[in-house]
Amino acid sequence: MDRRSFLHNAATFSALSCLPLYLQDLFAASFSSADLVISEVEILRLTGTHQVTRGRNRQHQVQPLHLYEDRRPPVYRDAPNPRSEQASLTQYYVRIRTKGGAEGLYGMVDKEALPVILGPLRTLLIGQDALAVERLWDQMYRSNRHSRASHYMMAISYLDNALWDLRARYFNTPVFRLLGGPTQKPVRVYGSCLGFSIEPEAAAKRAAQLKSEGYIHQKWFLGYGPSDGAKGMDLNVALVRSLREAVGDDVALMFDAYQGWDLQYAIDWCRQVERFHPYFLEEAVPVADVESFARLSKATSIPIATGEHFYNRWEVEQFLKADALHYVQADPEWCGGVSEVMKICTLSSAHGVKVIPHCHNVHAALHIVASQSPSVCPMGEYLINYVPEKLHFMKNAFSPTNGLVTLPEQPGFGIELDETKIVKQEVVTSL
């Protein structure tokens, strides 16, 4: 059996996926060749058009900046006569290629990460072994003093995900199988309701409809904060009440405050809605405020969630040590990619805390969930109003059926671009 045949042996893959990543690296290194040397890191800029509806499903959520009256948007109402039209759409994907023709693809990519991808990290990766999982992540992380967070870590995340896609394509298997799965097939997702009107009557009607579609877990976004006074608090409480009455007790209702509250406001809201049994309260206060999360967690019976804006395992550890949360929502597009979220899953499970990845682009997050025990990752997220746009340029873009997503058995993440939707495709290697 030659080297490539051996590497493509299914039994070998299964055994390798159970090894620690550093041993996988040693194995990969022993079989590495010039064919697996990274020859290019590039961005694909895709342009086309898509259908949009103006005046509907654009409800805002409370945000930290709304503390200032002049920064608060007016009360949202769906337009009585929304209109549909064609609008231009530009998205970015990262593609990594090796000398032997192996490719990895991931997207869509946040535009603010592009300068780092095409700048220092592109130079760092070219000439390296594409199968060296830990080596490449560690070198990207160590290469800059600002790498631990923000746009630098976002760039690391996209490149790490593209590399996992490349490796899985090379081994002719889905990413979730390289990670040790499947343990969950199909994958349960909760319906993330950002954009839907939060007027109590409209929200109740929508929640009941989503329940009939199989979304037995739903997350709703709270629209008011401390600066909106007692009336805003009443509206936040009324939303919870109307949703619970609409769906009954057999639907898990989650709520997101997007860092727009302070500790006392969060405690007051929790006391008023505990009787409606929210599944969790997400990002009640700014993520940097570990102490307030810890105090809130001790002050209410409602489970506390955060992590969408975590950037690495060390931030997660601070929250775990402080008993500050029950659910970690690390996003593999923002906190270090598949490689880092897998470590966060192990770390969280040792503390008895579950991980429900924030699904910015769904592929990496759902492959991680599919590879983990339900006791560690019980579900993923699906942004109902936003994921279809993010997947616009992809063939066979998946959507939930009865609250479940069946991941494709295609190699890698199964991302394949739909040429019929792309009006213009450009290869970008510098900005």
Could you report the per-residue pLDDT of 230-271, keeping only the tens digit for each? Answer: 999 999 999 999 999 999 999 999 999 999 999 999 999 999
Predicted local confidence at residue 129, as pLDDT:
97
Q: Residue 19's pLDDT is what?
A: 62
Do residue 231 and residue 356 come from a single domain? yes
Residue 423 lies in a domain: no
Q: Of the given ranges (80-84, 282-286, 379-383), which has the lowest mean pLDDT?
A: 80-84
Asked, as a colleague might, if the bond just before 182 is cis with ω within 30 of 0, I would say yes
For 148, the domain range is: 3-44+89-173
> Per the domain annotation, does 257 fall within a domain?
yes
Say how many domains are in the chain.
2
Q: Are residue 204 and residue 119 in the same domain, yes or no?
A: no
Residue 31: band (very low, low, confident or very high) from pLDDT cuts 50, 70, 90: low
Are residue 169 and residue 284 in the same domain, yes or no? no
Residue 18 confidence (pLDDT): 60
- Please tell me whether residues 333 and 390 are part of one structural domain: yes
Q: Can you give the CATH number for the domain in which 226 is found?
A: 3.20.20.120
- Residue 2 is predicted with a pLDDT of 40
Which of 173, 208, 234 represents a domain boundary (last residue)? 173
Are 182 and 165 members of one domain?
no
Tokens of 373: 């025990």
CA distance 339 to 179: 10
pLDDT given for residue 4 in this prediction: 47
- The DSSP H or E segment spanning 296 is helix 290-299
5, pLDDT greater than 70 = no
For residues 397 and 12, which has the higher predicted lDDT (pLDDT)? Answer: 397
How far is the C-alpha of 20 from the C-alpha of 158, rounded, in Å? Answer: 22
Q: Is residue 153 domain-shared with residue 205, that is, in the same domain? A: no
Q: How would you class 286 by CB atoms within 10 Å of its CB: exposed for 0-12, middle for 13-18, buried for 19 or more?
A: middle
Residue 24 pLDDT > 80: no
Band of pLDDT at residue 430, cut at 50, 70 and 90:
confident
Whether residue 145 is predicted with pLDDT greater than 70 in this model: the reply is yes
User: Which pLDDT value is given to residue 110?
Assistant: 96
Reported as type and span, the H/E element at residue 43 is: strand 38-54
Exposed, middle or buried: residue 279 (CB in 10 Å: 0-12, 13-18, 19+)? Answer: buried
Q: Could you tell me if residue 82 is inside a domain? A: no
Q: Rounded to whole angstroms, how far apart are CA atoms 181 and 367? A: 9
Query: Which of 356, 370, 382 has the alpha carbon at shortest distance from 413?
Result: 370
Strand partners, 424: 47
The verdict on 344 and 290 lying in the same domain is yes
pLDDT-derived band at 223 (thresholds 50, 70, 90) equals: very high
Q: Do residues 387 and 362 touch, judged by C-beta distance below 8 A?
A: yes
Would you place residue 11 in the very low, low, confident or very high pLDDT band (cuts 50, 70, 90)?
very low
Q: Is there a single domain that holds both residue 230 and residue 289?
A: yes
Residues 268 and 395 in one domain: yes
Of 79, 68, 162, 178, nearest to 113 (Cα)? 162
Domain end point (choices 173, 201, 234): 173
* Same domain, residue pair 262 and 169: no
Q: Is residue 79 part of a domain?
A: no
263 within domain boundaries: yes
Q: How far apart are CA 191 and CA 405, in angstroms?
A: 12
Provide the 3-class DSSP secondary structure of residue 88. Answer: strand
**9 pLDDT above the threshold of 60:** no
Instruction: Give dist(CA 51, CA 322) in Å, integer.
Output: 46
3-class DSSP state for residue 391? coil
Report pLDDT digits (tens) over 33-74: 789 999 999 999 999 999 999 999 999 999 999 999 999 999
Q: Minimal CA–CA distance to 94: which of 333, 407, 359, 385?
A: 333
Q: Is residue 55 part of a domain?
A: no
Please give the mean pLDDT across all residues of the chain. Answer: 94
3-state SS assignment for residue 79: coil
The pairing of beta strand 38-54 with beta strand 424-428 = antiparallel
DSSP three-state, residue 303: coil
Domain boundary among 173, 194, 209: 173
Residue 27 falls within a domain, yes or no? Answer: yes
Kindly state whether residue 39 falls inside one of the protein's structural domains. Answer: yes
- Single-letter code of the amino acid located at 396: N
Q: Which two tokens stand for residue 215?
A: 């979304």
pLDDT per position as a tens digit, 343-398: 999 999 999 999 999 998 899 999 999 999 999 999 999 999 999 999 999 998 98
Q: Give the residue from 4, 121, 96, 102 showing the smallest Cα distance to 44.
A: 96
Task: Name 404's bridge partners.
Answer: 188, 401
Q: Please check whether residue 102 is in contact with residue 170, taking contact to mean a CB–CB distance below 8 angstroms.
A: yes
Q: Is the pLDDT of residue 208 over 70?
A: yes
> E strands of 130-279, at which residues?
187-192, 217-221, 252-256
When pLDDT is cut at 50, 70 and 90, the band that residue 16 belongs to is low
Q: Cβ distance 132 to 173 under 8 Å?
A: no
Cα 128 to Cα 105: distance, rounded to the nearest angstrom: 17
**Residue 14: pLDDT above 60?**
no
Regarding whether 246 and 218 lie in a shared domain, the answer is yes
Q: What is the pLDDT of residues 106-131, one digit of tens each?
A: 999 999 999 999 999 999 999 999 99
Q: How far apart are CA 172 and CA 166, in angstroms?
A: 10
pLDDT score for 398:
87
Q: Is the pLDDT assigned to residue 25 strictly greater than 80?
A: no
Question: What residues contact 216, with CB distance under 8 A and at least 6 apart?
Answer: 250, 251, 252, 403
Beta carbons of 423 and 48 less than 8 angstroms apart = yes
How high is the pLDDT of residue 15?
54
Whole-number Å distance between alpha carbons of 357 and 365: 6
pTM: 0.92
Percentage of residues in the chain with pLDDT exceeding 90? 90
What pLDDT shows up at residue 68? 96
Quick one: 152 and 248 in the same domain?
A: no
* pLDDT over threshold 90, residue 22: no
Identify the CATH number of the domain in which residue 20 sits. 3.30.390.10
| pLDDT recorded at residue 3 | 42
